[in-house]
Amino acid sequence: MPRAASRRGIPATRRAGRLASAPLGLLLRQARPGSLAPLVRRKRYLRLPVLRLVLPPPVRQPDPGERLGIDFSRMRSAPEIAAAIGKVLGAVGRGEIAPSEALRLVRRSRKPLRGMRRRLWRKLAYLEAMRRGPRAPANSLLNCQNSLFSGNLGRRRACA
């Protein structure tokens, strides 16, 4: 007889009986008070579900940014974000927040930086287009050797 099958012919992956047919929380809520304690003593994996039914939900930890007085969504300039990151690193050094919380805060600072970076690139593309004049084709920004994007501003050559 293969190991995966029981004596009655039921595969080992399928559980027969009352526990297999009903959700665990429903069974625990409907259990009689005297029968629940011995069941939990026998089956330790039922302790946490029973406690979740009885105890209140755990209290959410306050946001580390709120504890430090930092709100990245209100920041509009790179110096503000740099000062906030310095504040976060100082708090890690003093032991006020954990390094994992600091990492989460610094990652949240990327979002306003993304918008700033996008605005800067748009402004740079606009300045490049104004410098080239109205007759330059739109895709010449990538092909031209004399572009602000290419980094060859010292060696100016005519675009082909």
Residue 83 has pLDDT above 70, yes or no: yes
Residue 3 lies in a domain: no
Considering the domain architecture, whether residues 74 and 96 belong to the same structural domain is answered as yes
**pLDDT of 112 over the 80 cut:** yes
Asked whether residue 45 is domain-assigned, the answer is: yes
- For the segment 41-57, the average pLDDT, to the nearest whole number, is 84
116: left (phi over 0), alpha (psi -120 to 50) or beta: alpha
Q: Decide if 37 is inside a domain.
A: yes
Compute φ and ψ for 112, nearest 5 degrees: -65, -30
Asked if the structure places residue 78 within a domain, the reply is yes
* Residue numbers of the domain that contains 42: 18-54
Structural domain count of the chain: 2
Question: Rounded to two decimals, what is the model's pTM?
Answer: 0.46
Judge whether 81 lies within some domain: yes
23: part of which helix (H) or strand (E)?
A: none
Q: How far apart are CA 14 and CA 159, in angstroms?
A: 73
- Does 24 fall in a domain? yes
88 exposure class (CB count in 10 Å sphere: 0-12, 13-18, 19+): buried
Phi, psi angles (nearest 5°) of residue 34: -75, -25
